[in-house]
Amino acid sequence: MKAAIYLPSQDKTQWWVDMLQSLLPEMQVVALNPEDSPETVDVAVVWRPRSGDLARFPNLKAIVSIGAGIDHVLADTALPQGVPIIRTVGDDLTQRMREYVALHVLRHHRDMPRQLRAQAERDWHAIVVPVAPNRTVGVMGLGNLGAASARTLAGLGFATRGWSKSPKTIEGVTCFSGAEGLSAFLTGCDIVVNLLPLTDETKGILNADLFARLPKGACVINCARGPHLVDADLLAALDSGQIKQATLDVFHVEPLPADHAFWTHPAVTVTPHVASQIDAETGGRIIAANLRTFAETGTCADVADAQRGY
Ligand code: NDP
Ligand code: OXD
């Protein structure tokens, strides 16, 4: 089997090629080059492929997303149809997301931004916050990452809610589902964490209407995809005080353009898409195991459902 890798950042490609080749000596791993005997490539391993690139490989048996989300693959307007898309998920990646979510929820819960402002003014200002059971945190999306993050928050003592498409039961988490469950989920949520996949249904879901259904002064954490958020609606909600603080890891355009208002907004924390970053070592191990299973059986557990979009 021949696997070809494409990453937008060219300088990392060879690193990934070497890593995967060392883990898969029985396969041939190369940098994706549409000019180079396209009919010999069996699998494309990609992050944000350019539209049209994948269509040039007539014998593709699988596309591997170097990431949990497959939206960046489905965005290819010329995507070959019917080719299985394998996503990259695993314990280390889930652990990283749990850490990120816990860090930023606790930061908002204990009002660290205000505490740091007080420190800058040498102000010995003791901020009184409720205990975690009196703080309601809602996680949107209860898949691999959302369910693990909700369990982590429940373990910290937060009154934890979750929202998904189909009904779920998670110990310690009050679960809501479907469009009809969204209002009840949002009402009373002090902190909302977005871990939904980006689909036609979820695009723009973090908007003025959703913010208005939260209690005044709620906090928002978006660690899923930039287009979930209507940037202008968040800026307006921050200015009006409806939303007190936001932590944003993902953006419409990445890297976030230097002139974007989020960079300097006093109530926004920007992180550079690192909530659960895939490095070549962790990602390589997961992808190699998936490719080996796929080569042996023609499928693997992490094949996504391209029709539903995640
Ligand atoms: P999964 O596919 O495992 O789970 C998705 C969850 O979202 C499911 O619970 C699903 O419900 C729910 N969902 C989907 N559509 C809707 C909808 N219309 N209404 C309500 N709920 C919905 O995803 P993961 O947990 O693996 O990842 C989530 C996203 O996180 C990824 O798609 C990616 O965009 C982002 N991500 C970000 C990273 C970062 O570093 N910032 C790293 C990794 C991922 P149901 O269970 O009923 O199907
Ligand atoms: C992912 C990501 O989808 O890193 O895994 O965003």
Which ligand gives the minimal distance to the CA of 142?
Answer: 1
Ligand 2 test: best mutation among 276, 279, 286, 310, most atoms within 8 Å of CB?
276
Through-space distance between the first and last CA atoms of the chain, rounded to whole angstroms: 26
Q: How far apart are CA 286 and CA 194, in angstroms?
A: 24
Q: Alpha-carbon torsion 221, 224, 229, 231, what sign?
A: positive
- Looking at the domain covering 2-90+278-297, what would its CATH class be? alpha beta
**Structure confidence at residue 9 (pLDDT):** 84
* pTM score of the predicted model: 0.97
DSSP 105-120: HHHHHTTHHHHHHHHH
Whole-number average pLDDT of the chain: 96
Q: Is 250 in the pocket of ligand 1 (CB under 6 A)?
A: yes
Q: Which tens digits make up the pLDDT trace of 242-300?
A: 999 999 999 999 999 999 999 999 999 999 999 999 988 899 999 999 999 999 999 99
Q: How far apart are CA 305 and CA 178, in angstroms?
A: 18
**Structure confidence at residue 35 (pLDDT):** 76
Options 273, 285, 292, 308, the catalytic residue = 273
**Structure confidence at residue 62 (pLDDT):** 98
**Alpha-carbon dihedral of residues 151, 156, 159, 164, nearest 10 degrees?**
-20
Q: Taking a C-beta distance cutoff of 8 angstroms, is the pair 228, 196 a contact? A: yes
Consecutive H or E run containing 209? helix 208-212
Instruction: Please give the distance, rounded to the nearest whole angstrom, from the Cα atom of residue 19 to the centre of ligand 1.
Output: 28
Q: What amino acid is encoded at 14 in this protein? A: Q
Q: Taking a C-beta distance cutoff of 8 angstroms, is the pair 265, 239 a contact? A: no
Q: Taking a C-beta distance cutoff of 8 angstroms, is the pair 153, 205 a contact? A: no
**Which residues neighbour 124 within 8 Å (Cβ) at sequence distance 6 or greater?**
118
Which ligand gives the minimal distance to the CA of 64?
Answer: 2
Instruction: Please give the distance, rounded to the nearest whole angstrom, from the Cα atom of residue 144 to the centre of ligand 1.
Output: 7
Q: How far apart are CA 103 and CA 84, in angstroms?
A: 35
**Structure confidence at residue 78 (pLDDT):** 96
Q: Which tens digits make up the pLDDT trace of 157-183?
A: 999 999 999 999 999 999 999 999 999
Extract the tokens encoding 119: 């420190």
Q: How far apart are CA 222 and CA 132, in angstroms?
A: 21
Topology match between the domains 2-90+278-297 and 92-270: yes
Structural domain boundaries in the chain: 2-90+278-297, 92-270
What ligand 1 atom has the least distance to the C-alpha of 250? 41
**Which residues neighbour 83 within 8 Å (Cβ) at sequence distance 6 or greater?**
54, 60, 61, 62, 63
Beta bridge mates, 65: 46
Strands (E), the chain: 2-6, 28-31, 43-46, 62-65, 85-86, 136-140, 159-164, 173-177, 191-194, 218-222, 243-248, 268-270
**Is position 213 annotated as part of the catalytic site?**
no
- Looking at the domain covering 92-270, what would its CATH class be? alpha beta
Q: Which tens digits make up the pLDDT trace of 4-49?
A: 999 998 788 999 999 999 999 999 999 998 777 899 999 999 999 9
Cβ of 81: how many Cβ atoms within 10 Å? Answer: 7
**Structure confidence at residue 33 (pLDDT):** 84
Q: Which tens digits make up the pLDDT trace of 186-210?
A: 999 999 999 999 999 999 999 999 9
- What φ, ψ does residue 61 adopt, rounded to 5°? -105, -25
DSSP letter, residue 43: E
127 exposed, middle or buried (CB, 10 Å; 0-12, 13-18, 19+)? Answer: exposed
**Is position 228 annotated as part of the catalytic site?**
no
Q: Which tens digits make up the pLDDT trace of 102-121?
A: 999 999 999 999 999 999 99
Q: Which tens digits make up the pLDDT trace of 40-92?
A: 999 999 999 999 999 999 999 999 999 999 999 999 999 999 999 999 999 99
* Closest to 242 measured CA to CA, from 190, 193, 202, 195: 190
Q: Is the pLDDT of residue 230 over 90?
A: yes
